[in-house]
Amino acid sequence: MVSGYLDHLTVERGLAANTIASYRRDLRRYTEFLDTAGVHRLAEVAETDVAAFLAALRRGDDDHPPLSATSAARAVVAVRGLHRFALLDGLVPDDVAHEVRPPAPARRLPKAIPVESVVALIEGAGALEGPRGLRDRALLELLYGTGARISEAVGLAVDDLDRGQSVVRLAGKGGKERLVPVGSYALRAVEDYLVRARPALAATGRAGVRGGALFLNARGGRLSRQSAWSILRTAAERAGLTAEVSPHTLRHSFATHLLDGGADVRVVQELLGHASVTTTQVYTLVTVDRLREVYASSHPRALT
């Protein structure tokens, strides 16, 4: 039966050789599991047997290490496909694997960097002499100071920043706008850039100022996302940061540091522009991990 199913996947479905090889290993392990349980025919398999196989994959044994959620999910998909194939071929009366769901992969937690690393990153951006250094520092200060997405930051116009009220208008996903406070460090960096750097960038080349963009490139046009990414990467190299720094790193750090400081998760939701608080709550998991670390290292009876 397994050979027939794999032939079907190869010939009828045209799956890649590597995928077929993975399915073959998964189904070999499945049949070995069933044999050990005294189940020797596919028609004898019950839903509980399939569920027990999934549990065994996640638990591991003397011959197999525990599988990750992703690897276990692939194996369950192979098993579900086998039972569905057998049902369609009339070899079994029911698809007993239909209700056994593959495990969801572990949710990737956002990676924040410590405050001192943020400071080093911003200092690295400002180390470049001339207008570009002032621009780069202002960009990173604004990203960390507001939690803006990098696309939101490069999309800003000069008029989107209200320096009198210390707020910035960000256009998020779906064109939804939000007002976010701008801290003193970011505000000062942006003001330095506007006074001492932006006019020089605007006057460079033939492009001139395009639509009042806040952040300009060396040709006087709007700074692109790719250029902003490059600024961030270069600043991380200058700062000697070994941790991976992505365009979202400062946004993640903004949210995590706010929650670490006692901010309400719904306030952080509004600042980030999340439609649902569920999206924001992933940052609370990071904060709980940090609390565990502090507890384990600080409480006199935390260590065993």
Q: Look up 283 and say whether it is catalytic.
A: yes
Whether 173 is catalytic is yes
Of the candidates 274, 290, 299, 301, the residue annotated as catalytic is 274
d(CA 125, CA 137): 5
What crossing angle do the helices spanning 131-146 and 115-126 adopt, rounded to 10°?
160
Alpha carbon distance 292, 281 (integer Å): 17
Grouping H, G, I as helix, E, B as strand and the rest as coil, residue 226 is: helix
Q: Is 274 tagged catalytic?
A: yes
CB 220 within 8 A of CB 210: yes
Classify each residue of 131-159 as buried b or exposed e, where b means 16 or more C-beta atoms within 10 Å of its C-beta: bbebbbbbbbbbbbbbbbbbebbbbbeee
DSSP structure string for 107-130:
PPPP----HHHHHHHHHHHHTS-S
> Catalytic pick from 80, 137, 251, 252?
251
- Told to judge if 248 belongs to the known catalytic residues of this protein, a careful annotator would answer yes
Active-site residue among 5, 144, 193, 283?
A: 283
Catalytic residue of the set 28, 41, 59, 173 = 173
Q: In the chain, which ranges are E strands?
A: 161-162, 167-171, 177-181
**Per annotation, catalytic residue among 29, 149, 222, 252:** 149
Catalytic residue among 24, 225, 248, 290: 248
Catalytic center residues: 149, 173, 248, 251, 274, 283
